[in-house]
Structure 1
Amino acid sequence: MAGKRKKSDGEEGGGGEDEPVIKKEKTKKEILPSMIKNKDKRSEIHAKLQHQKKLDKRKRAKARDAAIKRALELGEEPPAPKIPRTIENTREFDETVCMPDDEELFAGNDADEFSSIMNRERTPKILITTCRFNSTRGPAFISELLSVIPNAHYYKRGTYDLKKIVEYANNKEFTSIIVVHTNRREPDALLVMTLPNGPTAHFKLSNLVLRKDIKNHGNPTSHEPELILHGFTTRLGHRVGRLFQSLFPQDPDFHGRRVVTFHNQRDFIFFRHHRYVFETKETKQTDSKGTKTKDAKDKVSQEKIKARLQECGPKFTLKLISLQNGTFDTKGGEYEWVHKPEMDTSRRRFFL
């Protein structure tokens, strides 16, 4: 027919035998579960995708374990373990992060407000009081703080102004003041003040769980606890950590097996109080095949000592609101650091 076009040399059957035949295949567009309007079908597709992800993850884990086992058998170095990507290890760069060789930081520790307690020149003596309008859980929380912090004393607030309390505490040689603020019958803030020259830290308190509400809790002894501070990496965090450290004596009694922990994570400070418990368990000796021996002479029990933690309580979470120079002053006080809403520009920006 006249209307038909002749095949060129490069087309199929036209003499270009050495050249491969190229056929354009239409790529199928991937269908996501969110693109499906039917709810039942969308749930079914989503469940299948999640199941396939689990299978792939399990397959990768088995391959990784096999590679490690093969490397150990051949005497080679096993592959490096993968580090999960978290908000903590992807935090924004902060130039105030303390380095181990920061000589200026350690030189400043000998001249700050906490140096006399850290050098054991003064013994910590803590005054604990409340706001003017106390709540029902406030006294219970304070009584547990008295059992946690050694050499702590409770004084009823009454109608006294906070400046009068600071003056009285200085005359009685107290080293710190803790004010428990309550709102709607619940403790919601802590004011920690170092005497005589400050600083004063204001914390928001949340997630308070008293000792009686903790399952299988332990009762603390009168031994001076061991203090653990973790996650205070910046200059501000270092200063807040020393503030907490100044509340406790610097010579813990390890025989009491008491541990007080301040763990900073994403600028939330988690407080925990534990005791070490050592348990002795007897296990019957078995032969090489894994069966228990029947001979009475061979029935030798082996004692194994296992250590575990028993929570004593209370437990709560703190978040730093402000750090003020000197003692508490709402009108003319100068602040070292104040948290503002406009500072929360990223989930990966931390200050402690």
Structure 2
Amino acid sequence: MGEKRKKREREELIEGDKETNNNYESSNKKKREILPSMIKNKEKRSSVHAKLKHQKKLEKRKKLKARDAAEKLALELGEEPPPKMVPRTIENTREPDETVCRPDDDELFAGNDADEFSSVLKRERMPKILITTCRFNSTRGPAFISELLTVIPNAYYFKRGTYDLKKIVEYANNKDFTSIIVVHTNRREPDAFLIIGLPDGPTAHFKLSKLVLRKEIKNHGNPTGHLPELVLNNFTTRLGHRLGRLIQSLFPQDPEFRGRRVVTFHNQRDFIFFRHHRYIFETKESKENVSKGNKAKEDSKNKNTKGEKIAKEKVIARLQECGPRFTLKLISLQHGTFDTKGGEYEWVHKSEMDTSRRRFFL
């Protein structure tokens, strides 16, 4: 019994020594790992950083090759390829919202036929837009409005002067305008955008930011007088759907595709990005990567009867931005026409709503 006990004690001591040695080695390894930021010499630091970056690149390339090989093997065996990894983004991890529109929502489509924009969107009325400014205007405001007049067809500019907005609404209703756009400026820079639907509203108030005029865009194009195509992206909720229909009512519903003009309102994280493009079709010679073994065969195929090489042509669509470029953020949506005192609001943005980065309203 005594010998067995001594053996156990000896084994326990050996195991304890091994554990201490392993801990000591791991601590030494941690000490040996030197980060590039810890190196004082600039040349050594940059060389170590470059080596680490190159190693990461090689590892990434190996992973991609292994994934492609696994997909190819699965297809050859007639099996399903491994599922592709989808990166986690703020958009695809947004908080669930009950007001998100669904394609089978009959109530939503029934309401579209009776809302304020149905007459314009059904082509019963042609959109006619009145554009004006705030009372104290700046030099950059009219420059922005002159570019808006080239973007929105059948739009007219009227000087604000000292008139109240309610009087302007009455005048616009008498002259059969369908909408009013008011550009507000502050410190010589447009900072707010108001869209008033006529005759019964609603009124959308936006914050305007990151304005870039046409002349400030490099290699910009000049738009033609054709009616543009309208693209509305990611207006998924009930509020977004209503706002999208308000924006849609500013433009005619029969675009002229010959003009190749596209006006885009892209909603992302409740920021509406405005872009104005022309698309151009170009024919380019296609260059195919051919291996050395098959090069002679391909050359013989691409030659005509006289022995001359035939160039393969490819049609490529290229976008040219016409401007302006700006971003809108919805502040409020009001029932009826503009009324700051007695008006009822459908939706107002408040600071208490911004509880999560993954919560969106449009």
* TM-score, scaled to structure 1: 0.87
Select between 98-107 and 296-305 the one with higher mean Cα deviation: 296-305
Please give the alpha-carbon distance, in whole angstroms, between the structure 1 residues aligned to 2:287 and 2:52. Answer: 48
Contact 2:299/2:309 (<8 A) preserved: no
Q: Which amino acid aligns with 1:8?
A: R
Contact 1:284/1:300 (<8 A) preserved: no
Alignment CA distance shift 1:13-1:301 (3 Å): closer
Alignment CA distance shift 1:252-1:24 (3 Å): same
Contact 1:124/1:247 (<8 A) preserved: yes
Q: Which amino acid aligns with 1:11?
A: R
Equivalent of residue 299 in structure 1, options 309, 325, 346: 309
Aligned residues: 343
Look up the match of 2:322.
312
**1:111 shift after superposition:** 1.1
Q: Structure 2: any 5+ residue segments left out of the alignment?
A: 289-294
1:327 partnered with 2:337: yes
Q: Which amino acid aligns with 1:140?
A: A
SS at match of 2:39: helix
Look up the match of 2:297.
288
Q: Which amino acid aligns with 2:359?
A: R
Equivalent of residue 200 in structure 2, options 160, 175, 197: 197
1:167-178 alignment runs, 5 A limit? 167-178=170-181
Look up the match of 1:11.
8
Equivalent of residue 113 in structure 1, options 103, 108, 116: 116
Select between 154-163 and 272-281 the one with higher mean Cα deviation: 272-281
Contact 2:261/2:279 (<8 A) preserved: yes
Please give the alpha-carbon distance, in whole angstroms, between the structure 1 residues aligned to 2:286 and 2:229. Answer: 32
Look up the match of 2:86.
83
Please give the alpha-carbon distance, in whole angstroms, between the structure 2 residues aligned to 1:215 and 1:122. Answer: 38
Please give the alpha-carbon distance, in whole angstroms, between the structure 2 residues aligned to 1:196 and 1:229. Answer: 24
**1:82 shift after superposition:** 1.3
Please give the alpha-carbon distance, in whole angstroms, between the structure 2 residues aligned to 1:269 and 1:31. Answer: 49
Q: Which amino acid aligns with 1:40?
A: I
Please give the alpha-carbon distance, in whole angstroms, between the structure 1 residues aligned to 2:234 and 2:118. Answer: 21
Alignment CA distance shift 1:284-1:320 (3 Å): closer
1:223-234 alignment runs, 5 A limit? 223-234=226-237
Q: Which amino acid aligns with 1:104?
A: E
* RMSD value, Cα: 3.2
**1:304 shift after superposition:** 2.6
Contact 2:271/2:329 (<8 A) preserved: yes
**1:268 shift after superposition:** 0.5
Contact 2:304/2:310 (<8 A) preserved: no
Select between 5-14 and 152-161 the one with higher mean Cα deviation: 5-14
Contact 2:133/2:159 (<8 A) preserved: yes
Q: Which amino acid aligns with 2:96?
A: F
Please give the alpha-carbon distance, in whole angstroms, between the structure 1 residues aligned to 2:311 and 2:70. Answer: 38
Equivalent of residue 342 in structure 1, options 349, 352, 355: 352
Structure with the higher fraction of residues in helix conformation:
2
1:202-221 alignment runs, 5 A limit? 202-221=205-224
**1:11 shift after superposition:** 1.2
**1:66 shift after superposition:** 1.4
Q: Which amino acid aligns with 1:333?
A: G
* TM-score, scaled to structure 2: 0.85
**1:40 shift after superposition:** 3.3
Q: Which amino acid aligns with 2:113?
A: D
Q: Which amino acid aligns with 1:236?
A: L
Contact 1:278/1:306 (<8 A) preserved: yes
Look up the match of 1:99.
102
Contact 1:90/1:348 (<8 A) preserved: yes
Alignment CA distance shift 1:337-1:300 (3 Å): same
> What percent identity do the matched residue pairs reach?
73
Look up the match of 2:291.
none
**1:284 shift after superposition:** 8.9
Contact 2:213/2:325 (<8 A) preserved: yes
Please give the alpha-carbon distance, in whole angstroms, between the structure 1 residues aligned to 2:60 and 2:287. Answer: 39
